[in-house]
Amino acid sequence: MNGLTCDALLGGRLAIRQPEKGYRAGIDPVLLAAAVPAGAGQTVLELGCGVGAASLCLGARVPDLRLTGVELQPAYAELARENARANGIALDIVTADLVALPAPLRAQGFDHVIANPPYHLRERGSAAPDPGRETALGEATPLAAWIDTAARRLVPGGRLTLIQRAERLPELLAAIDTRLGSIEILPLAPRVDRPAKLVLLRARKGGRGPFRLHSPLILHEGFRHERDGDSYTMAISAVLRQGAALPWPK
């Protein structure tokens, strides 16, 4: 793959090579990884892992995880392997379609499944000119298929953690069947008094807890952008710069 950049994540703890043009990991996979309630020694499967940003951020925060990523695009899958080696984090990458996983992977169960599915329905808006970016951002596989694959791969009591655009929350909830429960939604709002643009979802396989819609987590200080710099809140800055866990409501 031509035209690569090397970008620092977690305040320089990780160096991620990714396409200069095409799909590029921003803060979304970092926030996703920070929201995963994983513990040392557990197993994690990421669906649609791209260049490995979310899995590697999670591996940098939680020791001794057994990480597996599934990526459809071979060039991105190979970058994920290279990024894992370069950062010294064990991450097994499987190049496959998430709706047609190879038999060895279908035989495994995981404590956690994480995903950052494409945000855009292709009947809305225009396709991205770069094929890699279009595959990553333009939905070809329905959200229901992502949820079904996740539910199948989770062990009883295992957890799904997923990030998605807020406008697609109704579709996301409609895709969840009785295999998953104890659903929690954490909206992510850019600033105070601004509507949430993203949501984080947590669910447990076999969970019986009530549905919980939490108050929005605010990403930036102030009501508007008033100075140079990123202006992240202290909690979000700790996630992005220091690899801290996301402050999930109790």
Question: What is the residue type of 181?
Answer: G
Give the separation between CA 106 and CA 149, rounded to whole angstroms: 9
pLDDT in tens, 154-168: 999 999 999 999 999
Name 136's Cβ contacts closer than 8 Å, sequence gap at least 6. Answer: 22, 23, 48, 50, 73, 76, 118
Give the separation between CA 231 and CA 142, rounded to whole angstroms: 35
* Least confident window among 2-6, 51-55, 75-79, 176-180: 2-6
pLDDT above 70: percentage of residues in the chain: 89
CB of 204 closer than 8 Å to CB of 182: yes
CB of 18 closer than 8 Å to CB of 24: yes
Domain positions in the chain: 26-242
pLDDT in tens, 86-145: 999 999 999 999 999 999 999 999 999 999 999 976 454 444 454 544 444 444 799 999
Q: Under CATH, what is the fold of the domain 26-242?
A: Rossmann fold (3.40.50)
Angle formed at CA 39 by CA 166 and CA 151, multiple of 5 degrees: 50
